[in-house]
Amino acid sequence: MATKHKIKVDKCNLFYGENHALHDIDLTIESNNIVALIGPSGCGKSTFLRTLNRMNDLIDSVRINGSIYVDGTDIYDPSTDVVSLRKRVGMVFQRPNPFPMSIYENVAYGPRIHGTKKKAQLDEIVERSLVQAALWDEVKDRLNKSALGLSGGQQQRLCIARLLAVEPDVLLMDEPTSALDPISTLKVEELTQTLKDKYTIIIVTHNMQQAARISDYTSFFLNGFLVESDKTDKIFTTPSDQRTEDYITGRFG
């Protein structure tokens, strides 16, 4: 059984060279919740999101201290297998980034890399993942067609299906609907509601209405600090910090 606290962040600091970008972040995230990260541009939301699967490791000048635990294991421990971590804690980016190959091969790519070779098994994974991503009915008759022929919204759901195919525990979403039209945005939002039964979802969004609609908890970042984190309805109705209220009501940001 998964621990109640899926992720625990303890005094996390991040530096880009001399720039202190995240300051003493403390945050606990429970399983099977959607957590929205909000705040003005450049406040550290996406940087923080990327600490959760060590994507910042790819930037030479980055230094991190503090601890981040996923299911009780410190992911910054030197013994951590980063490939395995990124399989468990996957990411969906701001712009859809399907591979230039067929819809089927996009979804089968991850399982193949991790050792699944049998076609029947891959067929089952591809169908299950596309069903989970609410895309199967739209693409089942053209699985061998290029993924680049899909609409932007379909491409984003394909990227989600590609992530689900490797059976992660946590989905990180970095403004996943910012490049999408309103109808596609709604489909992705609806999708998050069905996925949280099985996954823990952390989403960066600039859209206050979206955060209020889809998240269970909201964390407000400002200038690299986590100002407050609480149940979404409390953050949006009676926040503890005046700066949170000022941001949510549009006084800045």
In this predicted model, what pLDDT tens digit does every residue of 152-162 receive, in sequence order?
Answer: 999 999 999 99
Burial of 107 (0-12, 13-18, 19+ CB in 10 A): buried
- The confidence score (pLDDT) of residue 53 equals 96
Q: For residue 46, what is the domain's CATH number?
A: 3.40.50.300
109 in any annotated domain: no
Identify the CA nearest to 228 among candidates 237, 219, 238, 236. Answer: 219
> Does residue 70 lie in a domain region?
yes
Task: Kindly state whether residue 127 falls inside one of the protein's structural domains.
Answer: no
Would residue 73 count as lying in a domain? yes
| 185-239 residue pLDDT tens | 999 999 999 999 999 999 999 999 999 999 999 999 999 999 999 999 999 999 9
Asked if residue 135 is part of any domain, the answer here is no
Number of domains the chain contains:
1
* Residue 224, token pair as written in the block: 């690299």
Residue 161 lies in a domain: no
Residue 108: inside a domain:
no
pLDDT of 253 above 80: no
pLDDT > 90 in the chain, percent: 95
The domain of 237 spans: 5-95+168-248
Mean pLDDT of the chain: 95
Q: What is the pTM of this model?
A: 0.94
The verdict on residue 231 lying in a domain is yes
Residues in the chain: 253
